[in-house]
Amino acid sequence: MNSFAPLRWLNMGAVRWLALGFSASLAIMSVALMILKKTITAEAWAMLLLAPIPAGFGMTRLAKESRSSSELVDEWTEDHVDGEGEGVGDPTESGFDMPVL
């Protein structure tokens, strides 16, 4: 059974506006609480800190198609690797100073 069946009439645009409205109402309630109590309380901070969460859900987009893991992995071509088969070499020849212990 689909647990979201009662919400089937909501499309993504409506859900986004609902989430953004809920986020704005949290921020407005927080500011109103600060004004009414004339101090900043933990409840006001909690509502302010929770306000971006529904806004983030409202602004995200669902992926239309899921990508397979093979599409996400970039192929590494090893046509030519600089320094292949060479040793580290002498650091003094490259211009590095030799540390003195």
Per-residue b or e along 24-36, where b marks 16 or more CB atoms closer than 10 Å to that residue's CB = eebeeebeebbee
C-beta of residue 51 within 8 angstroms of C-beta of residue 28: no
**Higher pLDDT, residue 22 or 68:** 22
pLDDT tens for 18-51 read 888 999 999 999 999 999 999 989 999 999 999 9
Indicate whether 65 pLDDT > 50.
no
| pLDDT at residue 15, as a whole number | 79
**Strongest mean pLDDT among 12-21, 44-53, 62-71, 77-86:** 44-53
Domain boundaries, the chain: 25-59
Burial of 47 (0-12, 13-18, 19+ CB in 10 A): buried
Please say if the pLDDT value at position 68 is more than 60: no
Residues with Cβ within 8 Å of residue 91, at least 6 apart in sequence: 98
Residue with the bigger pLDDT between 92 and 5: it is: 92
